Structure formats: structure tokens, C-alpha cells
Amino acid sequence: MANVAVIGAQWGDEGKGKVVDWLASRADVVVRFQGGHNAGHTLVVGNQTYKLSLLPSGLVRGKLGIIGNGVVVDPDALLAEIALVRSQGLTVTPETLRIADNAVLILPLHPAIDKAREAARGDHKIGTTGRGIGPAYEDKVARRAIRVADLAEPETLSAKLDELLLHYNALLQGLGVPTFSKDTLLDGLLKLAPQILPYAEPVWERLDELRRGGKRILFEGAQAVMLDVDHGTYPFVTSSNTVAATAASGSGVGPNAVGFVLGIAKAYTTRVGSGPFPTELHDDIGQLLGDRGNEYGVNTGRRRRCGWFDAAMVRQAIKVGGVQGIALTKLDILDGLTELKICTGYRINGTFSRHLPAAPGAQAAAVPEYETMAGWAESSRGARSWADLPAQAVKYVRRIEELVEAPVTLLSTSPERDDTIMVKDPFEG
């Protein structure tokens, strides 16, 4: 049996939480491998709704959850999330959750500089959540980050805070924002240490043991390929690599351990925040998609921009993301629409292209070229087999497969856990 990596194939918010939850029933362990608490996964189980940001979705299934070294961890946010899901009846203990001891911590100064810099951009905002994710990743590559293991060494914390404050207080002062006290930060970290350290370990070693024992590992990504810091619509991207290759480096396993790569895509397109969005709709259809799909960010509460399915973009994400199969979600949101459009490419300054270019100006100039299909009047909501789907809905899915050059492996027809059509079990490889 293969391992499985789940990544987003658009701009995030594709429904990864439900898909990971559904796949977790077949897995032994679920690993988050990048991002921070800017990711939001919503899981609907019966009458209970779980909104997770840092915790691996498999915890809802009672599976071992691992937060890998590629994740940046806000300890206060993590502890608050643990308390929340415990209040909803989930068991989260050091026996069910492990955190990489080499994962980077987000400190209070990180969201402070994040928000201050975003405010200073004025009309050129990137659309960051302001939660300190980017600055924490900056510290990681600048080799000044405080990591989980450092919580066990007060002298190390003290020395690293000196370096951090030398850097950040100068920036904060220049932006007209209050600076931070070393004593306050150090005291806060020392109080958090006994709450975080029981979860910490070299998770690469545990994952190696699980692999050798034949256990199935589900790697859970955050955001999506088109928000990848290298391959996305830069600079309107997240601060980490979101492609499947990061599942290896972000958890401490070899690339051969990643297994089958499943890309999640909505049957239409959404985006939160700023940045290019060629198929965005500013009309009644865009409003309808947002209303029906309840398109609001889990963490930000911001309304998502909505548009037609962009097959050119998803094809690009599939190629650079290593996607082998698609999980298509929210097909039911299109029920009742008489006409549907699929973007097959872009006209950029008079030239046709099947991909979004790297240059921001060219991205902004991309005009979608559409293929039009008939919609369907019948309901697809709750379908659990191809026979339950309207014939035209099947044609729509098949055309998407052709255009993105990848098969639909799973098809989701409602937020409910079991309203899923499995074409192929990803764990079969």
C-alpha cells in the first residue's frame, strides 16, 4: 500500500479538510508538513463542525497526528486549538500528537511586524493574514529562528532573543510600531515550555519506524500550488513551498516515501486576498457561487473571490505539484446553472498561453479564453456513485479531466464526510 500526499491544486480553500478526514480512515498517521495557522481546514462530522488550523485533520478520526519540521508553530495558537477541540470531545495528548523538535516557533513579534509591513504597503497589500507566518520563515532561512527544541534550553532562548530583537526592534521602530522587551518574551517562552515540550520529538525517526512497520502515512498540505512561494502567483503567495515535494523535506522522510499525490480542486475557482484571478466573476453568478459555497475563509472570515473553473491553472498546478489524481469538490454548488464555462488558457497581450506566466504584469494582463458547456437542472448533492450524478455533470467532470490532463480520483458532492465518490483508492498507489 502506498502513502498519500494531499495538496491544493488552486489557490487554497478547496476542501482539503474533508478529503484528508475521509482518507484518514485508511491511514495510520496524518502529517502536516508546511504552513502555519494561516491554513484553515473545516471538517463536518454529523452535527459537529471542526475548524483546524495547525492540528492534523486525522485527529478527528483518532489517528496519530504529526506536525512536521516544515510547519511554523505559534505555541499560543496551538494550545488554544487543542483546548477548543478537546471541548468538542476530541482526545489530544502527547500520545496522539507529536511535534517536530526542529520546527520553528512564531513569537508575538512576528505578527506585529507582519501587520506593520502590510499596513505600510498601502494599496499594494499582498493579502497576508498577519499571523507572522512569513517573518517566522524569514528567520528560519536567516538562521536566527527559535525552534521547539530550544524551549528546553533557557540560555539558548536568551541568546537567540538578543539576536531577534536586534533585528526586529529596529524594523518596528522604523515603522512606528511599539518594540518588544526581551524579559517579557523570555518569560512567556519559559512558561510555554512545559506545555509544548511533552509533544516534541525527532519525528523523522518515528516516521522512519512507521514506514518500516508498513504503516500508511497521509501527508497533509496547507494552502495550494498556486500559492507556492516559487511556483505560485508571486508575490501574492504564501511563505512556504506547497508542492508535494515539500512533504518529504517538511517531515523528514525521503522523497520516495511521499507516495501517491492527490490534488484537491473545486469544481469552480476561489481565491482569498489580493493577486491575479483571471476567471473571477463580478456578476450574479460570482455572488451565487459564494453564497451557495459558503465561501468565507476559516481563519480570516474574509469573503472569497469566486469564478469559473480554470483548467489551465489547475493543469499547471498538476505539472509542477506532481499531482497524479484529482479530488474534485463542491460539484453540487453548480446544480441548476444552465450554462458553465471552463477556462482553457489565456490571451496575454495578444498571445495565447496555456499557463500563467511568472511576471506580475503579464499575470495581471491575462484574459481567460473559455469553453462553454450546458449545465444541469437535477441535483448532484449527496451523490455517492456515478449513477447518482446528472448526465451533464458527468460530462463536465470528464471534460475537466481532459483539460487538466489528470484523472478524477475522488469526487465530493457535499460537506458531509460520506458524500464522496471514490473512483480509485489513493492508498493503492
What total of structural domains would you count in the chain?
A: 3
Same domain, 217 and 295: no
How many angstroms from the chain centroid is the CA of residue 172? Answer: 29
CA distance 243 to 315: 14
Q: What is the DSSP string of 27-40?
A: -SEEEE-SB-TT--
CA separation, residue 356 to residues 100, 124, 241 (Å): 35, 20, 18
CA distance 381 to 333: 8
> Which CATH number fits the domain that encloses residue 214?
3.40.440.10
Same domain, 184 and 134: yes
Task: Report DSSP state, residue 303.
Answer: B
CB atoms within 10 A of CB 385: 9
Higher pLDDT, 210 or 58: 210
Same domain, 155 and 269: no
Q: What pLDDT digit, counting tens, does each position of 364-405 carry?
A: 999 999 999 999 999 999 999 999 999 999 999 999 999 999
The band of 309, judged by pLDDT with boundaries at 50, 70 and 90, is very high
Domain termination residue (choose one: 196, 215, 237): 196
For helices 133-142 and 109-120, what crossing angle results, to 10°?
Answer: 110
Q: Check whether 24 has a pLDDT greater than 90.
A: no
Same domain, 291 and 348: yes
pTM score above 0.75: yes
pLDDT attached to residue 45: 72
Give residue 354's domain range.
265-428
**Phi, psi of 137, deg, nearest 5:** -65, -35
Same domain, 96 and 156: no
The band of 297, judged by pLDDT with boundaries at 50, 70 and 90, is low
Residues designated as active site: 13, 41
pLDDT attached to residue 301: 65
The band of 1, judged by pLDDT with boundaries at 50, 70 and 90, is low
Q: What pLDDT digit, counting tens, does each position of 240-275 carry?
A: 999 999 999 999 999 999 999 999 999 999 998 889
Same domain, 398 and 294: yes
Q: What pLDDT digit, counting tens, does each position of 187-212 carry?
A: 999 999 999 999 999 999 999 999 99
pLDDT attached to residue 330: 95
Same domain, 135 and 88: no
